[in-house]
Amino acid sequence: MQSADITGLILAGGQGSRMGGSDKGLILFEGKPLFLHALERLQPQVASVILNANRNVDIYAGFDLPVIADAENAQQEAFAGPLAGLLAGLNACATDWLVTVPCDSPAFPTDLVERLAAAARENPCAHLIVARTPVQTHPVFMLVHRDMRDQLTAFLNSGERKIGFWQKQNGALFVEFPDEATFANLNTPDELAALEKST
């Protein structure tokens, strides 16, 4: 599996409740929207990138990115969580593999996709590979084969939403990354200000 076999998906479909309801992907960090930081890190690692968003679609589309909303069968409520965005991505991607990153982690590893893909190559039966560090798992950083669509559709249709539960249920393979800081995500204005101050 090479980068040409992998589509990237930036997850920007959340509610941003801890950011006062702001669309986190469009919040400025170091003078540009957070999602652009994610795009710039992800684009060199994959064949193409699509973006999952449930609002401000016209703004995102203005950056020449395909923009998709949560999958319809997952829209039983507003902001159904990252798995709804993942399902939309699996339905839209033209490659066998899809890698996801959140819009609010501007410094994720530049070898993220290669390391997840290497684990998939070494473990041909693994169709769901997730990043973790010594401190914690980072479930929204995952590489997923598109044959997981049926399981995910059934999971969401059952009313479930928990990403970690779905990954455990489907035998996720975990890949260790050494640096916790590279996966830092910005959930609050204070976290945003602290990271800007440190860079």
Q: What is the pLDDT of residue 142?
A: 98
Res. 15: pLDDT tops 60: no
Q: What is the pLDDT of residues 129-172, one digit of tens each?
A: 999 999 999 999 999 999 999 999 999 989 888 999 999 999 99
Considering only residues 119 and 16, tell me which one the structure prediction assigns the higher pLDDT: 119
Q: What is the pLDDT of residues 103-116, one digit of tens each?
A: 999 999 999 999 99
Closest CA to 35 of 18, 20, 13: 13
Closest CA to 14 of 98, 76, 102, 87: 102
CA distance 106 to 103: 7
Helix extents (H) in the chain: 34-42, 57-61, 82-92, 112-122, 149-157, 163-169, 189-198
Q: Identify the architecture of domain 3-198 in CATH.
A: Alpha-Beta Complex (3.90)
User: Structure tokens of 124?
Assistant: 């041909």
Q: Where are the domains of the chain?
A: 3-198
Res. 2: pLDDT tops 60: yes
For residue 21, what pLDDT band results from cuts at 50, 70 and 90? Answer: low
Q: What is the pLDDT of residue 192?
A: 61
